[in-house]
Chains A and B, each alone.
Chain A
Amino acid sequence: MARNKEGLLLLLDVGPSMHYVLPEIEKVCSMLVEKKLIYSKYDEVGVVLFGTRETDNELTKEVGGYQHVMVLKNIKVVDGDIVDALQQLPRGTTDGDFLDAVIVGMDMLIKKYGETNKGKKRLCLITNAQCPIKDPYEGTKEDQVSTVAKQMTVYGMRMESIIVRGKSSQDVNKRVMDENDRLLDIFSKETSARLLHVENPISLFGALRTRNITPVTVFRGDLEISAKLRIKVRVYKKTSEEKFPTLKKYSDKAPSNDKSATHEVKVDYEYKSFDDPKKVVPLDQRIRGYRYGPQIVPISSAEWDAVKFKPEKGVKLLGFSDSSNILRHYYMKDVYIFLPEPGNTKAILAVSALARAMKEMNKVAILRCVWRQGQANVVIGVLTPNVSDRESIPDSFYFSVLPFAEDVREFQFPSFSNFPASWQPNEQQLEATDNLIRMLDLAPNEKEEVLLPDFTPNPILERFYRFLELKSKHPDAAVPPLDHTLKKITEPDGDLLLQYKPMIDSFCTSFELKPNPKQKKPRRLLPEKRFGSSDEETKGDVSARPANLIAKTSTVKIENIGDLTPVQDFEAILSRRDSPDWVIKAIKDMKNKIFDLVEDSHEGDNYPKALECLVALRKGCILEQEPKLFNDFLRHLCKFCLEKDLDSFCEYLSCRGITLISKEEAVDSEVTEAEAKSFLVKSEPKFD
């Protein structure tokens, strides 16, 4: 039997009350097997269903009873057949008895493995535990569960129970559920069992561990508080990113009939000199170089080995500090866990005392760690307490790596208080924000925390494994959409938004967002097409949304001439064809704008802008065949200027060649060309 080979038996409740969540169970269980097919393909898996109409198990044949428990797949090495079976679980018709299923499962494991394979036998029960279990022939239910649990311990079995209880389970018999919970709790007390309650399908996905990773120590040895006080600890990774599988490059060069072809592509690096591109420089003639200013300094590995930093292995305490001194965003890497040496009571006590004191006093410890001899550098990090809430698990510490002085880039950012008043939120806006934060609460009291990382699966990996399985059957299959349940990880919960719609609307209307008019080329940031919106819109949850504020401002038709881009606004209104009134309105507005500009001008600072508007207006009036409107306006403007001692504007216009619109330019004009040209010139003598 291969080392680390696991025997897993899935005990799935398929009774009527479970039907609503079976699609999720099908998905998560098949993913479990798909992963096993990749990472541990010698593992063995069996599937037992309960709550079925049929009864099919060995115990029923041998001793009777154990009704409605059906062995769907006997324990065997994982294969596609199990995946297929798990993808289409039959729907049961009766309420299942989970204890019967556990006993059947245990019996199967014992028959298959006997006493061997200790610690590698696993029972995984997924049920809602809503239905009462049968009374035993003798003794109480508690006694029976306790006996079963003891048997499990003897045979070195582990059990994992996932209790799925959604919103629908509220009206079900509470007494039964409590009793069942108590019984299941006995398992977790008396044997190696994990008991998890999940409320929503996402958590169900996350709760079932789909991949077993044998923990490897990062460090075994002493946590040195001082030279005299050493605590024996073991350090493991607490978090470590499960990466997207690395796929190999495919080569189709091998003949198709070659069965032993690997189809792999090797990547080969060659180092060539610049002077002679044909010459390949062998490894022993290469030397590493580092930049020093514009030069490259060669350093041979031998030289380097002789002088490089060589810290001694060891984990040493530098001191304690207030936890407020270490801000959360300084954590650099994945997190480690420091556990006391198993079986070493003193170490467990020492860790426990320190952890509890640290928690009480809000302190953290700063450590200097060199995990292995020959490690290239030291690690400075922070040790935080992790006081255990379970009797069987000792207190421990979490350890996060902190940055060195060189790793922090001291970029300066403007204070928010230095921003103009228009950028500062007012009281009403702050209140709207407070309300938004309060209602989009993902960790409400008395309810399960939503999107708890510990129970939130990686939707991309799920998608990959599903696609892999799909492709194994249909090589040309398209990438399936993201699973409907897991989509909730990537976007806000529609129900929550709908529930608090008025407050959300009030938040949206409290703030105004508009595209920056100064930005010439908007970077596609604004009117964006939501990815995958097609399949969503059909479901109707999108239509419930109030008008998209940004889209509104960006697509809205311009109706007034603004201060920032009067010319563009004018042209935009002029070009509107939905009503003939727009032309008149545009010209009128533009005239007012020009007046305002000239009038508000201080020592002529608005003149260029006013001129620009005037040019635009002139062009617009010619185009729209409204020369009279312009000519009258220009006359009026000049008169106005003369009256208001703004003659410098007339001068400004005349030297920039603004004239009335003549007959040549627009037939409707009553002004001759000569008259047009002389208009401003004529007025000149008046200034002298």
Chain B
Amino acid sequence: MDLDPDDIFRDDEDDPDSELFQEKESTKELVVYLVDASPKMFNTTCPVEDQKDETHFHIAMSCISQSLKTQIINRSYDEVAICFFNTREKKNLQDLNGVFVFNVPEREQLDRPTARLIKEFDVIEASFLKEIGSQYGIVSGSRENSLYNALWVAQGLLRKGSAKTADKRILLFTNEEDPFGSITGVVKSDMTRTTLQRAKDARDLGISIELLPLSGPDEVFNVSQFYAELIGLEGEDLIEFMPSAGNKLEDMKHQLRKRMFKKRIVRRLKFTIVNGLSIELNSYALIRPTVPGAISWLDSVTNRPLKTERNFICSDTGALVEQSSRRFHPYKNTNIIFSTEELSEIKRVSTGHLCLLGFKPLSCLRDYYNLKPSTFLYPSDEDVVGSTCIFIALHRSMIRLNRFAVAFYGSSSRPQLVALVAQDEVVQSGGQIEPPGMHMIYLPYSDDIRHVEEVYSDKNARMPIATDDQIQKAAALMKRLDLKDFSVCQFANPALQRHYAVLQALALEEDDMPEINDETLPDEEGMARPRVVAAIEEFKTSVYGENYDEESELAAAGKPTEASKKRKALADNAAKECENYDWGELADSGKLKDLTVVELKYYLTAHNLPVSGKKEALISRILTHMGK
């Protein structure tokens, strides 16, 4: 018995009280894909989306491939291994029969996915029967148990990493509901028992086994036959298993490429409510723009990464200087010098925490009071017991009274006023859509608000205001164009998805660039529905009158602006001048460089190409355009 009191009162994870609010967060996921490669997987087919029959083996393979491609972007630090069982060849550390661990060079068996792994995995199917081979591993008359072996190998692979920090999983793909169906008697019961025991041992080690059953269109995979016990399913879970298993397979295939972030506290904040009564809050970044990963510079010859060095150079003398701690600002014809300490002192106006100033009705939070993404606040009792209670009380009262809190947030970069808006928990079909807590919205100062509308106000005329009829027509139009179930983040970022797709295509040396569906385009079909068109037409007529189209077209054609006239004249002139040169000849003889920039621009303007850049850029642009 250790009598060190420190030890006894140390805040440890197995404290039952703290488990409530200390969700255990595994830092990474270790997954073994265990694929049944028995002849049955190759023989049974089922129709997929486009009505073509595919073998179960193919379905499993494409599912894993998709999943890997998503994972390498979403959670590239997670580790995977791919393992087939019921194979002719064997390759595994334990040297067990009927189990083949697939891997590529420069990679451990359980490791982060690499482009090469994905690439070779994608082509393995074609040569699978030749190289790895498929055969039933469990046959009567032999004591071999390939399923047992497979679980053993998988467990061996997952020995890496502690169960506390890693989430370990085995994903088992099979279409055989009764692996020991081919044998009978004592051997069968014996094998069943040992296999189940092996699975239980794995589960006891913190490895979860998930089954992805494959079945034909007319048959149902009977989980209760054998696998329910293997994966530890009981009671209600068993009933719900089959429908959810189907979804799981679909989900794996259609996951969005989206970088995953670990839940992380951005800052611990002290929130002073009144008279020094302060509670403890944690802030989280729930919404932040995602950018396509950091750029690393490479040497284009060797493709080796480059080291970036930053140097400070004195403009006057050209001498290298140290990182200077002094800054200056020109003012009244002199340079006023500040030390960095002085600058941070200027910005330090409060304690660096949140300080409540008061409350306002939610209607006072105008639409334009926003500068950057909000920050989420959630209470914590870690240091100050009672914080959560006060927070919940405030949260409830604010929601009930329709108020938001105004507070001053003294961050070191930009101290500013913030609005704290209480958000109730929203749960939809079992999932938390909105967590309970408060959102901190950064309010602008008067210096940040612009009054554009005033600049454009017209003193001499009253602004026309829509008539009731026009408003009604607009309302009718709105009803027709209603997005009923719009959810804020239903659109994937088309540029980012394209970026990931391109990255994948380049990394895997795929031939054709994948097309990314831009979900953000308006629904043309819906807009063309007769009722919608009619509603739009009515609104248009009520505001613009009957003959608007012609009018506007006439206006557009009849009154070109000064600038557009000038542009047109320039283009005409360029086209004319352009004809005076034999561009093909000039390009072939390399004489383009003898022309002046003005001359080169004739060609570019005449062919609607950009005219920016240096002379070399212009020449190369011309050559590219000519296809030379």
Q: Interface code A325-351, partner B: CB below 8 Å = 1, 0 otherwise?
A: 111111111110101001101101110
How near does chain B come to A318, taking the closest CB pair, in angstroms?
Answer: 5
| B350 interface residue (CB < 8 Å to A) | yes
The residues in B between 253 and 280 inclusive whose CB is less than 8 angstroms from any CB of A are 256, 258-259, 261, 263, 268, 270, 273-280
- Whether the pair A406, B256 counts as a contact (CB closer than 8 A) is yes
| Top 10 A-B residue pairs of the complex, sorted by shortest distance between their CB atoms | A353-B466, A329-B439, A247-B327, A206-B446, A425-B393, A357-B474, A254-B316, A404-B493, A377-B495, A413-B435
| Chain A residue contacts of B383, Cβ below 8 A | 515-516, 519, 522-523, 525-526
Question: Which of the 9-residue segments B156-164, B202-210, B482-490, B580-588 touches chain A?
Answer: B482-490
Select from chain B the residue with minimum beta-carbon distance to A571: B5
How near does chain B come to A229, taking the closest CB pair, in angstroms?
Answer: 5
How near does chain B come to A449, taking the closest CB pair, in angstroms?
Answer: 6
| A443 interface residue (CB < 8 Å to B) | yes
How near does chain B come to A407, taking the closest CB pair, in angstroms?
Answer: 5
Question: Which of the 9-residue segments B91-99, B226-234, B293-301 touches chain A?
Answer: B293-301
- Whether the pair B351, A321 counts as a contact (CB closer than 8 A) is no
- Whether the pair B453, A388 counts as a contact (CB closer than 8 A) is yes
| A512 interface residue (CB < 8 Å to B) | yes
Question: Which of the 9-residue segments B146-154, B182-190, B329-337, B593-601 touches chain A?
Answer: B329-337
- Whether the pair B494, A513 counts as a contact (CB closer than 8 A) is no
| Chain B residue contacts of A350, Cβ below 8 A | 466, 543-544
The residues in A between 375 and 405 inclusive whose CB is less than 8 angstroms from any CB of B are 376-378, 380, 384, 386, 388, 390-396, 398, 400, 402-405
| B385 interface residue (CB < 8 Å to A) | yes
| Chain A residue contacts of B384, Cβ below 8 A | 513-516, 525-526, 550
| A667 interface residue (CB < 8 Å to B) | no
How near does chain A come to B429, taking the closest CB pair, in angstroms?
Answer: 14
- Whether the pair B261, A265 counts as a contact (CB closer than 8 A) is no
| A644 interface residue (CB < 8 Å to B) | no
- Whether the pair A549, B277 counts as a contact (CB closer than 8 A) is yes
Question: Which of the 9-residue segments A46-54, A308-316, A679-687 touches chain B?
Answer: A308-316
- Whether the pair B289, A210 counts as a contact (CB closer than 8 A) is no
| A275 interface residue (CB < 8 Å to B) | yes
| Chain B residue contacts of A76, Cβ below 8 A | none
Select from chain A the residue with minimum beta-carbon distance to B447: A242
Question: Which of the 9-residue segments B27-35, B53-61, B137-145, B374-382 touches chain A?
Answer: B374-382
| Chain B residue contacts of A215, Cβ below 8 A | 450, 452, 455
Cβ-neighbour of A514 out of B385, B439, B444, B490 (below 8 A): B385
Question: Which of the 9-residue segments B44-52, B125-133, B211-219, B353-361 touches chain A?
Answer: B353-361
- Whether the pair B310, A269 counts as a contact (CB closer than 8 A) is yes
12 A-B pairs with C-beta separation under 8 A: A229-B539, A250-B326, A265-B312, A291-B296, A331-B374, A339-B456, A353-B466, A416-B392, A437-B401, A472-B334, A514-B384, A525-B278
Cβ-neighbour of B300 out of A236, A286, A378 (below 8 A): A286
> Once the chains are docked, how many angstroms separate the CA of A327 from the CA of B286?
13
- Whether the pair A281, B331 counts as a contact (CB closer than 8 A) is no
| A368 interface residue (CB < 8 Å to B) | yes
| Chain A residue contacts of B483, Cβ below 8 A | 318-321, 366
Q: Interface code A193-213, partner B: CB below 8 Å = 1, 0 otherwise?
A: 010000000000111011101
- Whether the pair B488, A441 counts as a contact (CB closer than 8 A) is no
- Whether the pair A437, B321 counts as a contact (CB closer than 8 A) is no
- Whether the pair A268, B310 counts as a contact (CB closer than 8 A) is yes
Query: A430-B396, A497-B275 provided; 16 other pairs, C-beta below 8 A?
Result: A254-B314, A264-B316, A309-B516, A316-B521, A319-B486, A334-B371, A353-B471, A405-B258, A407-B287, A419-B392, A422-B389, A437-B359, A441-B358, A451-B406, A472-B334, A531-B352
Given contacts A405-B491, A453-B449, A515-B384, contact A425 B389 (CB under 8 A): yes
- Whether the pair B396, A285 counts as a contact (CB closer than 8 A) is no
- Whether the pair A489, B494 counts as a contact (CB closer than 8 A) is no
| Chain B residue contacts of A446, Cβ below 8 A | none
- Whether the pair B305, A274 counts as a contact (CB closer than 8 A) is yes
- Whether the pair A441, B115 counts as a contact (CB closer than 8 A) is no
Given contacts A250-B337, A327-B434, contact A333 B370 (CB under 8 A): yes
The residues in A between 234 and 268 inclusive whose CB is less than 8 angstroms from any CB of B are 236-242, 244-245, 247-254, 258, 261-268
| A110 interface residue (CB < 8 Å to B) | no
> Once the chains are docked, how many angstroms separate the CA of A254 from the CA of B311?
18
Chain A interface residue count, CB cutoff 8 Å, equals 232
| A288 interface residue (CB < 8 Å to B) | yes
| A578 interface residue (CB < 8 Å to B) | no
| Chain A residue contacts of B20, Cβ below 8 A | 414, 418-420
| Chain A residue contacts of B554, Cβ below 8 A | none
| B315 interface residue (CB < 8 Å to A) | yes
> Once the chains are docked, how many angstroms separate the CA of A568 from the CA of B6?
10
Select from chain A the residue with minimum beta-carbon distance to B365: A328
- Whether the pair B502, A472 counts as a contact (CB closer than 8 A) is no
The residues in A between 478 and 531 inclusive whose CB is less than 8 angstroms from any CB of B are 479, 482, 487, 489-493, 496-497, 504, 507-508, 511-520, 522-523, 525-526, 528, 530-531
- Whether the pair B358, A442 counts as a contact (CB closer than 8 A) is yes
Select from chain A the residue with minimum beta-carbon distance to B276: A548
- Whether the pair A468, B317 counts as a contact (CB closer than 8 A) is no
| Chain A residue contacts of B343, Cβ below 8 A | 247
| Chain A residue contacts of B370, Cβ below 8 A | 239, 331, 333-335, 400
Select from chain B the residue with minimum beta-carbon distance to A225: B536
How near does chain A come to B367, taking the closest CB pair, in angstroms?
Answer: 4
Q: Interface code A269-301, partner B: CB below 8 Å = 1, 0 otherwise?
A: 111111101000100011111111111111110
Cβ-neighbour of A405 out of B307, B390, B489 (below 8 A): B489
| Chain A residue contacts of B477, Cβ below 8 A | 225, 357
The residues in B between 506 and 557 inclusive whose CB is less than 8 angstroms from any CB of A are 506-507, 513, 516, 518, 520-523, 527, 532-533, 536-537, 539-540, 542-544, 548
> Once the chains are docked, how many angstroms separate the CA of A507 from the CA of B446?
33
- Whether the pair B115, A398 counts as a contact (CB closer than 8 A) is no
| Chain B residue contacts of A407, Cβ below 8 A | 287-290, 489, 493
- Whether the pair A288, B297 counts as a contact (CB closer than 8 A) is yes
> Once the chains are docked, how many angstroms separate the CA of A269 from the CA of B310?
5
| B23 interface residue (CB < 8 Å to A) | yes
> Once the chains are docked, how many angstroms separate the CA of A412 from the CA of B343?
39
Q: Which of B112, B258, B302, B355 has the most CB of A within 10 A?
A: B258
Select from chain B the residue with minimum beta-carbon distance to A300: B300
| Chain A residue contacts of B563, Cβ below 8 A | none
Select from chain A the residue with minimum beta-carbon distance to B363: A443
